[in-house]
Copies of this chain bind each other. A is one copy, B any other.
């Protein structure tokens, strides 16, 4: 199919609006409110607020102060106050549902909507700055393309609303919050939204592939666990009474070094990082506190679990060495999720047929981590099919850099191919006997 010029312009407008009002994970109040309003205008059912998530399962939610400020800012930036308040303590994101009323499969599409913790480039060569849609929120910037993802989600909703009479079954679009830090997918899974999905497609813009190159079976994501460690000891005057201290900094140093020293795994790639370490109260005080932000990864979930289990032993032992207390808090988790092989030829074909597409591959992608994998695995567990599509772009700035930008032409491709998937999925499923 081919979308209209109007919708193509609208995609860009939405994307730039989301870009300008970038909101990091669990604070996407304005972004969500806008999505909900558009969806409602299109006639979709829009689930938002606490119903989107299983409250117990949410990870890495900011503190209350941050949430309060973010809600206030969202309203100042034009968000509907009622919607914002309904999202409460960070129940951001939305599930869009289109029930055709005709029998047919349940199709699910995932678009993530949060920004990064970055300050956007102020260089005049950076298009968002030059054209006036750079982020107005200090320390927040869409540096990974989720502004484009949110726009594609709305674009897809628009096309499908226009064609509802031609559709069967049910379509769900997941506007997922807090993908950065791989935090937001799990509580949507736990809320049951994936349980009846027959075909699931996650979509990501990808700056290194090149515009027109598309990987319809991204399978290189690493499983990962993100965790914070706090050590709490006892302070003491370092000159007058050092023996009374319980040194949280030394525990943190032992933990850090020895987490990096966890043995390699012979069955595949592993990673460990302690990214930040903050410890101590003053030069002449035995440090009573230390705080670490860490993560491990694995080529598969077994290797990642090995790394995390070993890390927990290291932290616990380090605390015991220095007679300090410790706390490990999980802040994010990603799995590996091989795409469903049966699904690939179908999705491949839909993207290959697009105007402007150069090359379509069935395997590849980056070695970062993705929590859409949790959604994919749930779909597959329940008998559905799932894959992850990477849409190539031509932009220069790498992901997670201050000069990242989106090839806006790619937005059209995502919408067109995925709409086509919706149109043809019933026949495809039938063809493979499902």
Contact = CB atoms under 8 A, between A and B. Distances in A.
Interface of A: 117, 181, 222, 224, 226, 237-243, 245, 247, 249-250, 252-254, 256-258, 260-261, 263-266, 269-287, 290, 293-295, 297, 306, 310, 313-314, 316-323, 366-369, 400
Given A274-B249, A280-B276, A284-B295, A240 B266 contact: yes
B249 A277 contact: yes
Given A242-B266, A269-B269, 19 more contacts: A117-B282, A222-B239, A239-B297, A239-B369, A240-B266, A242-B273, A243-B263, A253-B257, A254-B321, A257-B261, A258-B322, A263-B286, A264-B269, A275-B280, A276-B283, A280-B293, A313-B320, A317-B317, A317-B320
B281 A285 contact: no
B280 A321 contact: no
Nearest to A228: B283
A319 B318 CA distance: 10
Nearest to A313: B323
A365 to B, nearest CB: 11
6 contacts: A224-B239, A240-B367, A243-B266, A249-B256, A257-B258, A283-B294
Contact of A368 (B240, B279, B280): B240
Given A243-B266, A265-B242, A313 B317 contact: no
A413 B366 CA distance: 45
B278 A243 contact: no
A370 B125 CA distance: 52
Nearest to A259: B261
Contacts of A279: 276-278
Contacts of A274: 249, 280, 287
A366 B284 CA distance: 15
Central interface residue in A282, A287, A316, by most chain B CB within 10 Å: A282
Contacts of A293: 280, 282-283
A11 B278 CA distance: 42
Contact of A261 (B250, B252, B310): B250
A270 B264 contact: yes
Contacts of A271: 238-239, 242, 264
Contacts of A226: 283
Nearest to A240: B367
A275 B283 contact: yes
Contacts of A260: 247, 250, 260-261, 263
A313 B306 contact: no
Central interface residue in A264, A281, A283, by most chain B CB within 10 Å: A283
Nearest to A236: B263
B318 A321 contact: yes
Contacts of A316: 320-321
A114 to B, nearest CB: 14
Central interface residue in A239, A269, A297, by most chain B CB within 10 Å: A239
A263 to B, nearest CB: 4
A257 B252 CA distance: 10
Given A256-B249, A313-B323, A320-B320, A264 B282 contact: no
A321 to B, nearest CB: 3
Contacts of A263: 242-243, 245, 247, 260, 286
Given A266-B367, A317-B318, A275 B257 contact: no
A334 B310 CA distance: 30
A181 B239 CA distance: 12
A282 B366 CA distance: 19
Contacts of A247: 260, 263
A310 B245 CA distance: 12
B275 A282 contact: yes
A368 B239 CA distance: 6
9 closest cross-chain pairs (CB), A and B: A317-B321, A317-B320, A238-B273, A276-B280, A260-B261, A253-B253, A275-B283, A242-B263, A261-B261
Nearest to A182: B284
A322 B254 CA distance: 12
Contacts of A295: 238, 283-284
